[in-house]
Amino acid sequence: MKDINLNYKNSMVNKDEMYKTLRLLEGEIVRMNEAKKINYLDDRASINLPTDAQLRKTVKNVVHEKLKLKPNNLVVVGIGGSNLGTMAVQEALLGKNYNLDANLKVFYADTVDADNISSIIKHMKKGKTILNIISKSGTTVETIANFKVLLEELKKKVVNYNKYVVITTEKESMLYNYAVENNIDVFEIPKKVGGRYSVFSPVGLFPLAMLGVDIDKLHKGATRMVKLCTRTVKLNPAALSAAVLYNNYMKGRVIYNTFLFSNDLESLGKWCRQLAAESLGKVATIKMSSKNVGIMPIVSIGSTDLHSMAQYYFGGLDNVVHTLVKVNEKNKVNVPNEKNGLIDDLNKLSLNKIMSAIYNGFALALAKAGRPYMEIDLFEKNEYFIGQFMQLKMIETMFLGKLLNVNPFNQPDVEKYKQETKKILKLS
C-alpha cells in the first residue's frame, strides 16, 4: 500500500542546511525507538497507541454496548486536545455536513457558549443521547460546566442515565473517581499521553467508532507512519519536514501555514494548529540564556483562502512557509454544457479539474515568487491516509521541539488564563 507523499523541493532549504539539521535529530530518533519498547512510560508514549490492539478491543466492546441503546445523538464534551482530533477525523472522513443525513448525529460541546449548548439540548430532547465527557485532568472548567448542564438534561430523559455516559480521563482524577462511584464506563488516558497527542487513544477512538469510523485502519495508517518516522533521518518524512520548517524559521519565516485543498479538512488544519502552538510556543534555554521561541501555526483552505490571504502570501512579508495538502475528492461534479456567455470555456470541465488547476497554479506562483513551500499528497480521504497524516504531524512536532530546544509535551503557560478564571469565579 502506498504512503502519503512529502515533496520539499521548493522549500528554499539547501542540501547542506538539511544535512546539518537532520544530524541534530539522530539522537531523538534513537530515543523514539527506545520509547517503543517501554509502552506508556516515556513522553513520546503516544507513538505506541496505534499498535495497542487491546485498547481497540476495549473501545469496540463499549461501543457495541452503547449502540444497543439505539442513540440518536452523540455529544462529545471536551475542549482542545479532547475534541479537536475527533472533529478533524470525523469531518475529513464523513464530511462537514454529516449531521444532515446521519442516523446518529454528533455534536461538540467545547466552549461554554450558551447558544451552542442550548442548541444541543434541543436535539437531546428529541431522542436518546450518549454523552462522552473527555478531560485528561478531570478539572477543565469549560468541560465540567458543560457536563453538569448536559447531564441534568440527560437525567430528565432517562432513568438509568449512567448507561448513557462514557467518561475519558486520567486514572484517579476527580472525573475518573466520579465515574467509578456512579457505575459509568470510563476510559483511561495514559499519563504520559498529552491531550493534543491523544487522538489515537480512547479520546478519539470511542466517538469515532460510534460514528462508524474504522479505527483499525486509522491505527494501521498511524502504525505505518511511526515506522517511517523512526528510521534513518534521510528517509524520514517527519525529520525532513521538521528540518524544512526549522531552517525557514531561522531565516525569519516564523509563520507556518497548513494549506489544505479540501473544505472537509479544515478541522484537520485546526488540529495541526493546536498541536504546533501548544507544543512549540515556549521559553527555550539557549546558550545559558532564556528566549521566547515558537513557530506560529495558521490554517488556510483552498481555494477559499486564496481570496482572503493570497495577497499577503505573495505581497506581504516573506515570513511564511506553507505545507500544501492535496487530496482526491470522493465525488465528481461537472460544469453543465450550457452556453450563456459566462466563461463558456468552463463548460464540461469537472470541479475536480478546476481545483487541481488552482492548486497547481498556486504552487507554481509560489515557486516563481521565491516563497517556500512543501507539498503533501494525501491521495484519499480515508482512515489509512488520515491516520498517516496525523501521526506524521505529531512526530514532526516532537522533532521541532528538539530543534527549538523546548519541551513539546507540556503547556505551562495555558495555566495562566485558567488560574485567573478560577480567581474571578472564586473556584477552589
Q: Which of 278, 375, 383, 396 is catalytic?
A: 278
**Which grid cell is 307?**
481570496
Nearest to 93 by CA among 217, 202, 223, 196: 217
Q: Which of 163, 270, 353, 418 is catalytic?
A: 418
Model pLDDT for residues 338-365, shown as the tens digit of each residue: 888 888 888 889 999 999 999 999 999 9
Task: Give residue 287's pLDDT band: very low, low, confident or very high (50, 70, 90).
Answer: low
In words, the CATH class of domain 5-33+218-413 is alpha beta
Name beta bridge partners: 300.
259
| pTM given for the model | 0.96
Residues in contact with 406: Cβ distance below 8 Å, sequence separation at least 6, in sequence order:
279, 280, 282, 283, 284, 293, 294
Contact criterion met (CB below 8 Å) for 108 and 79: no
Query: Which CATH fold would you assign to the domain 41-213?
Result: Rossmann fold (3.40.50)
**Which grid cell is 304?**
477559499
Q: C-alpha distances in angstroms, 370 versus 2, 51, 374, 377?
A: 31, 41, 13, 21
Domain with CATH 3.40.50.10490 in the chain: 5-33+218-413, 41-213
Q: Is the model's pLDDT at 314 over the cut of 70?
A: yes
Q: What's the whole-number mean pLDDT along residues 45-67?
A: 97
Model pLDDT for residues 172-185, shown as the tens digit of each residue: 999 999 999 999 99
Burial pattern 327-341, b for ≥16 Cβ within 10 A else e, equals bebeeeeebeeeeee
pLDDT of residue 284: 84
Contact criterion met (CB below 8 Å) for 35 and 44: yes
Contact criterion met (CB below 8 Å) for 113 and 296: no
**Maximum separation of any 2 CA atoms in the chain, in Å:** 70
Q: Is the model's pLDDT at 290 over the cut of 90?
A: no
Model pLDDT for residues 404-414, shown as the tens digit of each residue: 999 999 988 88
Peptide bond into 118 cis (omega under 30): no
Task: Indicate if 278 belongs to the active site.
Answer: yes
**Which grid cell is 110?**
467545547
Task: Give residue 288's pLDDT band: very low, low, confident or very high (50, 70, 90).
Answer: low
Task: Indicate if 307 belongs to the active site.
Answer: yes
Task: Give residue 32's pLDDT band: very low, low, confident or very high (50, 70, 90).
Answer: very high
Q: What's the whole-number mean pLDDT along residues 35-39?
A: 93
Q: Which of 2, 9, 15, 307 is catalytic?
A: 307
